[in-house]
Structure 1
Amino acid sequence: MAQMTKMAAEATETPQVFRRQQQQNKAQIIALADAIKRHDPEFVYMIGRGTSDHAGVFGKYLIETQMGLPVAAAAPSVNSVYGKTLRLRKALVFIISQSGRSPDILAQARMAKEQGALCVALVNDETSPLKDVADFFVPLCAGPEVAVAATKSYLASLYALLDIVAACTQNTSLTAALASLPLQMEEVLASQPVLLADTLSTMERCVVLGRAFGYAISREIALKLKEVCGIQAEAFSSAEFLHGPISLLNRGVAILDVHIDDASAQYHHAQIEEVKSRGATVCPMLQTDKTTHPLVAPLLIMQRFYVDIELAARTLNMDPDSPVGLKKVTETM
């Protein structure tokens, strides 16, 4: 039997990562929810790069739909390169990072803290200097992640955001869904692959389409298709795709369909039918059971995708642990 790749080993650890968060972060999440209530933020500011930035997009949809707070994505260069400060006194700031060491992320976090924001770091490496910057340091509990393609740390970031929002909104149904999610993840891991090597073998370029939460995870799916399989993949909201980018179908672009069974489902379905009517090849991602809480469904879809893309890469004689030109920790200024 071939030795398991680092990416596969780490991707399958996610259920245990969630269980560790449940055990280790419970008291801190309660305290954080109380601090957020007292700070009474007017908006949320997300700081992150790459996969962590994609977690922030998920956080945007989550916080705006569940807490009613507008969410903006940081442009770290504004501070680290241009030396500008922002008025963030009324902000709730999330700093999301696997390592918590990139200079631009640290600079942006320090600026936010100095401006009076309530700063929350969601970081996997507990030796990160962000521990001395943030008001709350919430460990992702993912353990060492050495594979270049991040998997469990991304899902751990989403889980932490869901846990925080559930506590802030006292959403008991979401809290229950999070408690049962590790078992559901294990069931997905034991299920049959959805995205197969045969599908990817002739795919040079593709578009990943989702709506709202589906779009949020589409960005991460597109990144991993580039990193692991060298496929030129771009993510679009299925609504936005109709406003111009749909002309890409004239170039033989395949469509990956990320469907979430929530309030956006009927609109996304209509847009998928539109691209089908124009001759597009549409490849569905994992379809979750209707009993699944819609806010945790994206995590189940990502869990299946991560193990599928790793298996497909090996089947196509690619090494998912050694993507060309990439390294694990990227430090930008």
Structure 2
Amino acid sequence: MTSRMQREVQEIPEAAERLLSRGASAVATAARALAETDPPYLASIARGSSDHVATYLKYCSEILLGLPVASLGPSVASVYHAPLRLAGSGCIAVSQSGRSPDIVEMVRAARQGHALTIALTNAPDSPLATASVHVLDILAGPEASVAATKTFVNSAIAGLWLLALWRDDGELLAALRALPEALSRAIACDWAELRATLAGHRSLYTLGRGPAFAISNEAALKFKETCQVHAESYSSAELMHGPVSIVGEGFPVLALAAADAAEPLLVDVAERLAEQGAAVFVTSARARKAERLEHVRTGHPLTDPIALIAAFYANVEQLARALGLDPDRPRHLRKVTETL
């Protein structure tokens, strides 16, 4: 039986194409506003999967533009009612529903503090959209499964597109335009060996580095949400500062590598863990001891992580069903989470 999550994963390429075909005007307007404002830094406002999009955009901004990004705690505005000195900054809020009160309140506070506020949302008529100066409708279409998939992908594409236009980066813009086709191939990647290994384990590590660290964070969340598996996400560098101590014989590790400057460093850690007896799976052809997973390269290091998460979504949904779980209805969760 097909789950809603599976259907929505299959819709990822179409959703990406829809955004890239219909979203240009709003993205270009927001990019011009950022160029005119010329902020000394950016700030992000998000929670859950949307916060992993924000982490991804943080790395993209810092690598592409040299512009630092600070993650704002929504409770600073919604609970503590403390004003922040954000004048002249650019503030990017990410929320698929646009309805969580703490996110909306932080955006209102940022706008009142004279920040340029930009919302990435699948609900252009939401309270978040109303509170923001610029609204980027991610055009993912309805998403009924509790686990965000195509809304994550389209939020990441919209944010990266914004940065690429701001910088006028032709190579990145071309890679974005070609992304729907790459995503079609990514969702067909079969990680059967990983699924078979994880079927016998209740805990694992996910690893990434740079923009792919955000993908590792999202993967760990989805393991918990859909499979009731305890997954912890680490930068491959951070892992070696203590958490590596619990990695023993057969301990599963998923290393998500993009084709960027961090790939050899991430693979080196994966190889060391494999030598220690861990069951390591990595999205890189460089691996020799770790198990290599099928993956899709997109022609640009900043778009590679988007293809990685699409491949992961297709496989984690299959794992959830193999474990006898309903990926559409994770226990204790609802589609829209509203926090203060």
TM-score with structure 1 setting the length: 0.95
Tell me which residue corresponds to 2:267.
Answer: 269
Counting only pairs closer than 5 Å after superposition, residues 61-72 of structure 1 correspond to structure 2 as 61-72=59-70
2:32 matched to 1:34?
A: yes
2:329 matched to 1:307?
A: no
Q: Give per-residue Cα distances to partners, 1:7-58, cap 9 Å, x unaligned.
A: 1111111111111111221122222111111111011110000000010000
In the alignment, residue 65 of structure 1 is paired with which amino acid? I
RMSD: 1.5
Counting matched residue pairs gives 331
Decide whether the 8 Å contact of 2:188 with 2:314 is kept in 1.
no
Matched residues in 2 for 1:73 and 1:9: separation?
Answer: 32
Matched residues in 1 for 2:76 and 2:251: separation?
Answer: 35
2:205 matched to 1:198?
A: no
Matched residues in 2 for 1:31 and 1:81: separation?
Answer: 33
Matched residues in 1 for 2:336 and 2:248: separation?
Answer: 38
Matched residues in 1 for 2:195 and 2:252: separation?
Answer: 14
2:314 matched to 1:316?
A: no
Matched residues in 2 for 1:300 and 1:290: separation?
Answer: 7
| CA distance 1:190–1:291, change in 2 (3 Å) | closer
Q: Give per-residue Cα distances to partners, 1:123-157, cap 9 Å, x unaligned.
A: 00122012222111000101111111110000111
Matched residues in 1 for 2:255 and 2:312: separation?
Answer: 12
Residue 252 of structure 1: how far off its partner (Å): 5.8
- Using the TM superposition, name which of 110-119 and 208-217 deviates more: 208-217
Moved over 6 A (4+): none
1:185 is matched with which residue: 178, 183, 186?
Answer: 183
Counting only pairs closer than 5 Å after superposition, residues 1-333 of structure 1 correspond to structure 2 as 2=1, 4-194=2-192, 196-250=194-248, 253-285=251-283, 286-288=293-295, 292-333=299-340
Matched residues in 2 for 1:82 and 1:175: separation?
Answer: 40
Decide whether the 8 Å contact of 1:42 with 1:91 is kept in 2.
yes
| CA distance 1:194–1:217, change in 2 (3 Å) | farther
Secondary structure (helix, strand or coil) at the match of 1:141 reads coil
TM-score with structure 2 setting the length: 0.93
Decide whether the 8 Å contact of 1:262 with 1:294 is kept in 2.
yes
Q: Unpaired segments of 5 or more residues in structure 2? A: 284-292
Q: Unpaired segments of 5 or more residues in structure 1? A: none
Decide whether the 8 Å contact of 1:210 with 1:268 is kept in 2.
yes
Residue 276 of structure 1: how far off its partner (Å): 2.1
